[in-house]
Amino acid sequence: MKIVAVTSCPTGVAHTYLAAEALEKAFKEGGHTISVETQGSVGIEGEITQTDIEGADFVILTKDVSIKGEERFSGKQIVRVTAGNAIRKADLIVKKLEQKLQEQQ
């Protein structure tokens, strides 16, 4: 499974980066490919490429604040989670998306 994600939080500090780290770890441990862009207090880091977006099975967006450039993901399957859930429940997010992908095949 290929995933792209954008994480952000109201202050653009800790939760933005903790969510990115948790998602990267959980998806890589599950044998999946993930590219994560952070939109934090220092701006956009690790910007996702159009090629990554086109190849993605799912797009994960944190919903604590609006994501800059969200229109890039038009037509993709978008999953919205809070930064807190991305941090605490990343393994569950992986399992749910694996199940969803299996149901679609």
Please list the active-site residues.
9
Rounded distance between C-alpha atoms, residue 23 and residue 5, angstroms:
8
11-44 in b/e form (b: 16+ CB < 10 A) is ebeebbbbbbbbbbebbeebebebbbbbbbeeee
Sheet with 58-62: list strands edge to edge.
Answer: 43-45, 33-40, 2-7, 58-62, 78-81
